[in-house]
Chains A and B, each alone.
Chain A
Amino acid sequence: MDKKYAITRRSFLRNSAITVASIGLSGSIYEFLFSGLAPVTAAKISDVKKFLNACPRNCYDTCSIVSTVADGILTKVEGSTLSSYTRGKLCAKGYSYTRSIYSPDRIKYPMKQKVRGSGNWERISWDEAYTEIAQKILQIKKEYGSTLPICLNKYSGNFDIMHYGIEGMLTSIGNTTRATGTPCWPAGIDAQTFDFGTTYCNDPEDIVNAKYLIIWGANPAWCSVHSMYFVKEAQKRGCKLIVIDPILTQTASQADLYIQIKPSTDGALALGMARYILDNELYDGEWLAKNSKGAEEFFSYLQKNITVEWAAQKTGIPRGVIESMAREYATTKPANIWIGYGMQRHTNGGQNVRAIDALAAITGNIGKSGGGAQYAQLQTWGFAYYAMMQKKPENSGGKSDRLININNFGAEVLNANEPPIKMMWIACRNPISQDPETAVVNKAFEAMDLVVTADMYMNSTVEMSDIVLPVTTTFETPGVNVSYWHYWLSLNEQAITPMYECKNDVTIAMELSAKLNELEQGSCTFPVSGDLEEWVGKEFNDAIYKQFGIQDWTELKKGPIKAKTGLIAWQDGKFKTPSGKYELWSDEAKKFGHFPLPVYTEELQPNDEFPLRCISAHWKLGINSQFQNLDWMAAINNEPCLEMHPIVANKFGIKDKEPVKMYNDIGYIVLPAKITETVSPDIVVVYEAWYKGKKINVNYTVKAIPADMGKKATGSPGMAFHDNFVAIKKV
C-alpha cells in the first residue's frame, strides 16, 4: 500500500475516532451545561386558597382538615394544626381525599336503569329524576292513603350535622318507614346508659394522664390513629398498656401486655377481675357508697356465682394473669379502660360492657382525669337539628313513622304489612354491602317498585337501585361536624364547586320538595330554596355556643374550637340514671328484659359443622365500604384475604396465598389465605371492605343475629357481627 495513503488513513481513522468520541462528549457536556440541573421552578399558579374542612366519616377522629385549592382545584389536604386532637395529621383515608373527589369512577349525573341490577344505566336530567320520584311518592300516597310504604335507610356514610336533613326530607312528605337503630355500637350504648344514664367518655387527649390503660377489643392503630398517639404518649409518661383482643392487632403489638382472649368472653374476664378485687378488698368502698346503687347486690353476685378459676377457664387466660391484672388495675391510679365497639358485636356484648363498666365503678376510676370507662360521647351533638326538624304535611295519613330494625333490614322490609314497603330512599348507607344476610337484603330490594340511592360510586347498593342521584363530597359543600369521641367542633367550608352535576343531599331535598309541591301543592313541607351556608348556621343553638364558648358560628371560620366544659366524664358525680347514681343494679335494664346486674351471659359457641368463628374486623385502608375502592388504596392492597392460624391451615391443608372457601349455611366467599400466628386458632379474620370490581363480601355469611342490647337508646338491638360461625376448605 502507498505510504502516503497509510498516513492519511491513519490520521483519518484517528480523527474519526476522536470525532465520534467528541461528538458524544460535547453532546453530553452541552447537556450538562445547558440542560437543567437547575431546580425546577414552580408552575405558574395564580390563585391559591386555603379552606377549612372536616372529615364527616363515621370515625372517632373526625379530623379538622385544611384544604389547598389552586385555580379551583383541590391540590392537597392536610390536618389542621389548630386542633390539638388532629395535630396537623390525617390518616391514610384522609390523605386520599383528592383521589376520592377526582376519581374517574364518580357518578356524574342522575342515572336510571330500567331493569334493576342490569347495569344498563341511562343518563337522566335532575328534573326527570325528581319528576319520577315525586310521581311515585304521590302515587303511593294515593294508593295506600299514606307515605308509610316509603322507607328511609340512612346512617353513617356522612355524619355532617346538616345531613340529618335527609331524615327531615322524609318527615316533610309524611309518615314514613325508618330503618332505626345502628349496626355499630348500640349494645355498648345501652350498657353505658343503664350504668351511667348515657354514654359519656373523657376527652381522649386526657388519655396521656392514665397510668394504666386497658384497650379492650378496640384497634385504634387502624381506627383512631390520632388517639394512638396519645396512648403512646401515656406510655412515655409511665402508663402500662394492656390490650385485650382475640387478634394480635397493630395496637396489641404496641402493648406492654397483650392478652389473647376467647372471643365474646370479655364479661367473664371483667367479672373474674372484679371477684379478685372484692376478695382482696381493693375496691373503693367510699366511692361506691357515695355514688353507686346496687354495690351490695353486685358483690353478692360475685361471691355466689363468679370465681377467678371459672373466669380463667371461660376466657382461656391463665388465672395468675387475671389476678395480677386485677391487682394492677385496682391499685394503679388513675386507671383507664377503652371499650371497643368490636368487643360488643356479640350476643352478650351489652352485658360484657356492663361488667367492664362495673370494674371502673368498683375501683373508683369514674369521673377522674386519666381514668374512666371510655366508649363514646354524644355531649357535643346538642345541635338544633334545623334541617332535620320538619313538619309533616297536613294530609299525612298514618299515625306516626313506622320503625323497622336497621340490623334486620332485609327481613323487616319483606315482612312489612299494612302497608307494605314499596319504595326505598338510601343515603349515606350501603346496605347490600354492609348488612348481614345479603341475599335477604337483595330480595327486599327486588320487591320494591322504586329504589332511589344518593351516592358517589357505583357500589353494590347503587347497582340494585332504579335511580342514582350523585352527591357532593365534603369539599364541595358547606357543613359542620363534631366527633363522638373528641371534643372539637369543626366548620366545613365549601372548598371547590360541586363536581359534574352532584348535589348536596339537602339541595336534593329542597328541589324534590319544589317538584312535589308543583305536582301537588302542600304535599311536602321541606323548604324549596335556601342557601346552604345559612342552613349550616341554623344548626347552631345557644347550648352549642355556651359549650364551645363562642358567640357566633362564623368564629369557626378561623379554625376548629374545643368544648370548654364537660371534658372529664361524670366529674360532678351527677349520673343521668333514674337514681342519679351509678347503677350496678339497674331497674331500667330489667324493663328491657335484662338481668339488672352486670351478670355473665353465655357466649354463642360454634358447632361441629361450622367450627370457626369469623371476625369481620375493620380495615386500615377504608372505612366500611368507603375508600378501598379508590385506585390509590388498590395500589397498596387490592385483595382481601382470610387470616388464619397455622394450626387451622394445617388442619385443612391450606397453604399461604392459596384460595380458600369460607362458608356456612347461608353463603360463602372465596379468597386467598394469609397464614399468621397473630390470630388465635379458634378464629379466622376477614377485614370488611368494598373492593371495586370484586364480588367478595364477608356479609354473605353473616346472619342477622341481634346483640343483647341496643333497643333502649337507639331503638333496635345491635348486630352480633362477630358471632359468625363458618367452615373453611381448600378450593
Chain B
Amino acid sequence: MKKAFVVKSDRCVGCHACEMACKNEYQLEATIRWRKVYQLPENEFGVPSRHFASLACNHCENPACLAACPAKAYTKREDGIVIHHTERCIGCKMCMMACPYKVPVFNEKIKKVEKCHMCADKQDRGEKPACVAGCPMEALEIVDLDDTNLANMRSFLPGFPDIAITKPTTRFITPNLGIQVRGNNNG
C-alpha cells in the first residue's frame, strides 16, 4: 500500500482553506504551517495565470528525514505514511536540512520538530485527513498508488524539487488553461 496525496491543481483556487483546516484540527502554534498553498510561477503554462499547488508532507518512498534522523524518530508505516514520533525527537533539525520540500518545521515551544502525518489517526478511524475533508473545491484526495488508475496524475509540476532524491508519493493534476482575451490596450 502506498498512500499518497493527489493535488488537483486544476481545481485548486488558492483559498488556503486546507492549510487552515489542518491548523484548526490540531490547534497548531500560530506560526507553524504543516500544509502550505504555493502559487505556481505565473507563466509556467503558456499564458499568465493564477494556479496553485497545496503541499504538506510528501510521504516519500525514500524519506530523507527518516534517513537523516539520528534518534530514529521517523518511521514509515505499512500504508506508506511517514510518521514523526515526538517522544523520540531531540530537536537536532537534521530532518529539516535533509528534506528537499522544507516539510518538517521546528516548534519553538516544545523545542522539537513536527510535520504533517497525513492525519494517520483520522484515517485509521475511517475519516479523511482534515485538509482533504476541508477543501471546499475537493482539490485534494488520498489515493493508494498501488491501486489507482487516475490517468492524468503526474509526479511533479514545474518548480517541484527533483523527485529522484526521495521519490515523493504526492501526485498532481496539471491546471487547465482556458482562452484568454486581453484588451487591445496592452502589449
Using a CB-CB cutoff of 8 Å, which residues 546-581 of chain A contact chain B?
A: none
Q: What's the Cα separation between A261 and B87 when bound, in Å?
A: 57
* B30 lies within 8 A of chain A by Cβ: yes
With a CB–CB cut-off of 8 A, which chain A residues contact B52? Answer: 250
* A715 lies within 8 A of chain B by Cβ: no
Given contacts A91-B136, A620-B14, whether A678 and B21 have CB atoms under 8 Å apart is no
The reply to whether B187 and A647 contact each other, CB–CB distance below 8 Å, is: yes
Given contacts A36-B85, A98-B27, A248-B50, whether A91 and B13 have CB atoms under 8 Å apart is no
Interface centre among B21, B51, B88, B138 (most CB of A within 10 A): B21
Residue of B23, B50, B176 touching A250 (CB-CB under 8 A): B50
The reply to whether B48 and A676 contact each other, CB–CB distance below 8 Å, is: yes
The reply to whether B17 and A95 contact each other, CB–CB distance below 8 Å, is: yes
Encode contact with A along B64-92: 1 for CB under 8 Å, 0 otherwise: 00000000100100000000011110000
With a CB–CB cut-off of 8 A, which chain B residues contact A95? Answer: 17, 20-21, 23-24, 134
Instruction: Report the minimal beta-carbon distance from B116 to chain A, rounded to whole angstroms.
Output: 15
With a CB–CB cut-off of 8 A, which chain A residues contact B49? Answer: 248, 253, 678
With a CB–CB cut-off of 8 A, which chain B residues contact A88? Answer: 133
* B162 lies within 8 A of chain A by Cβ: no
* B16 lies within 8 A of chain A by Cβ: yes
Instruction: Report the minimal beta-carbon distance from A224 to chain B, rounded to whole angstroms.
Output: 10
Residue of B19, B27, B50, B136 touching A225 (CB-CB under 8 A): B136
* A538 lies within 8 A of chain B by Cβ: no
Residue of A36, A260, A634, A682 touching B87 (CB-CB under 8 A): A36
Residue of B nearest to A77 (CB): B24
* A317 lies within 8 A of chain B by Cβ: yes
Using a CB-CB cutoff of 8 Å, which residues 91-130 of chain B contact chain A?
A: 121
The reply to whether A225 and B15 contact each other, CB–CB distance below 8 Å, is: yes
Given contacts A35-B87, A677-B42, whether A636 and B16 have CB atoms under 8 Å apart is yes
The number of residues on chain B lying at the interface, defined by a beta carbon within 8 Å of a beta carbon of chain A, is: 50
With a CB–CB cut-off of 8 A, which chain A residues contact B42? Answer: 676-678
The reply to whether A316 and B136 contact each other, CB–CB distance below 8 Å, is: no
The reply to whether A635 and B30 contact each other, CB–CB distance below 8 Å, is: yes
The reply to whether B50 and A37 contact each other, CB–CB distance below 8 Å, is: no
* B152 lies within 8 A of chain A by Cβ: no
Interface centre among B30, B85, B121, B136 (most CB of A within 10 A): B136
From A6-14, A113-121, A226-234, the one touching the partner chain is: A226-234
The reply to whether B181 and A321 contact each other, CB–CB distance below 8 Å, is: yes
Q: What's the Cα separation between A90 and B133 when bound, in Å?
A: 10
* A251 lies within 8 A of chain B by Cβ: yes
Interface centre among B15, B32, B184 (most CB of A within 10 A): B15
Encode contact with B along A371-406: 1 for CB under 8 Å, 0 otherwise: 000000000000000000000000000000000000
Given contacts A248-B49, A259-B181, A260-B182, whether A92 and B15 have CB atoms under 8 Å apart is yes
Residue of B85, B137, B178, B180 touching A232 (CB-CB under 8 A): B137
The reply to whether B24 and A681 contact each other, CB–CB distance below 8 Å, is: no
The reply to whether A681 and B187 contact each other, CB–CB distance below 8 Å, is: yes
* B43 lies within 8 A of chain A by Cβ: yes
With a CB–CB cut-off of 8 A, which chain B residues contact A28? Answer: 72
* B158 lies within 8 A of chain A by Cβ: no
The reply to whether B17 and A225 contact each other, CB–CB distance below 8 Å, is: yes
Q: What's the Cα separation between A639 and B27 when bound, in Å?
A: 24
The reply to whether A89 and B134 contact each other, CB–CB distance below 8 Å, is: yes
* A99 lies within 8 A of chain B by Cβ: yes
Using a CB-CB cutoff of 8 Å, which residues 659-690 of chain A contact chain B?
A: 676-678, 680-682
Interface centre among A241, A248, A254, A317 (most CB of B within 10 A): A254
The reply to whether B27 and A221 contact each other, CB–CB distance below 8 Å, is: no
The reply to whether B13 and A89 contact each other, CB–CB distance below 8 Å, is: no
* B171 lies within 8 A of chain A by Cβ: no
* A262 lies within 8 A of chain B by Cβ: yes
* B148 lies within 8 A of chain A by Cβ: no
Encode contact with B along A243-274: 1 for CB under 8 Å, 0 otherwise: 00000111111111111111000000000000
Q: What's the Cα separation between A270 and B183 when bound, in Å?
A: 16
Q: What's the Cα separation between A251 and B43 when bound, in Å?
A: 17
Q: What's the Cα separation between A28 and B73 when bound, in Å?
A: 12
Residue of A31, A97, A255 touching B88 (CB-CB under 8 A): A31
Given contacts A90-B134, A229-B136, A256-B178, whether A318 and B15 have CB atoms under 8 Å apart is no
The reply to whether A262 and B137 contact each other, CB–CB distance below 8 Å, is: no
With a CB–CB cut-off of 8 A, which chain A residues contact B23? Answer: 95-96, 632
Residue of A nearest to B43 (CB): A677
The reply to whether B24 and A635 contact each other, CB–CB distance below 8 Å, is: no
The reply to whether A316 and B184 contact each other, CB–CB distance below 8 Å, is: yes
With a CB–CB cut-off of 8 A, which chain A residues contact B25? Answer: 76
Given contacts A253-B175, A257-B178, whether A96 and B20 have CB atoms under 8 Å apart is yes
* A315 lies within 8 A of chain B by Cβ: yes
* A32 lies within 8 A of chain B by Cβ: yes
With a CB–CB cut-off of 8 A, which chain B residues contact A252? Answer: 50
The reply to whether B178 and A222 contact each other, CB–CB distance below 8 Å, is: no
* B186 lies within 8 A of chain A by Cβ: yes
Instruction: Report the minimal beta-carbon distance from B131 to chain A, rounded to whole angstroms.
Output: 10
The reply to whether B185 and A631 contact each other, CB–CB distance below 8 Å, is: no
* A275 lies within 8 A of chain B by Cβ: no
The reply to whether B33 and A636 contact each other, CB–CB distance below 8 Å, is: yes
* B151 lies within 8 A of chain A by Cβ: no
Instruction: Report the minimal beta-carbon distance from A309 to chain B, rounded to whole angstroms.
Output: 13
Instruction: Report the minimal beta-carbon distance from B155 to chain A, rounded to whole angstroms.
Output: 23
Encode contact with A along B28-41: 1 for CB under 8 Å, 0 otherwise: 00111100010000
Residue of A92, A256, A645, A647 touching B17 (CB-CB under 8 A): A92
* A695 lies within 8 A of chain B by Cβ: no
With a CB–CB cut-off of 8 A, which chain B residues contact A221? Answer: 13-15
Residue of B nearest to A224 (CB): B136
Instruction: Report the minimal beta-carbon distance from B164 to chain A, rounded to whole angstroms.
Output: 29
The reply to whether A647 and B186 contact each other, CB–CB distance below 8 Å, is: yes
Given contacts A251-B13, A255-B178, whether A262 and B33 have CB atoms under 8 Å apart is no
Q: List 27 A-B contacts (CB under 8 A).
A: A35-B87, A35-B88, A76-B24, A77-B24, A90-B21, A90-B134, A90-B136, A91-B136, A95-B20, A95-B23, A221-B14, A221-B15, A225-B17, A226-B136, A250-B50, A253-B49, A253-B175, A256-B178, A318-B181, A318-B184, A632-B30, A676-B48, A677-B42, A677-B48, A678-B42, A678-B49, A682-B185
Besides A252-B50, A631-B30, 13 other A-B contacts (C-beta < 8 A): A36-B85, A37-B85, A39-B121, A91-B17, A225-B15, A250-B50, A321-B181, A635-B30, A636-B16, A636-B37, A677-B48, A678-B49, A680-B183
| In the A-B complex, the 10 residue pairs with the closest CB atoms | A316-B183, A95-B20, A221-B13, A677-B48, A631-B30, A92-B16, A95-B24, A681-B186, A89-B136, A250-B13
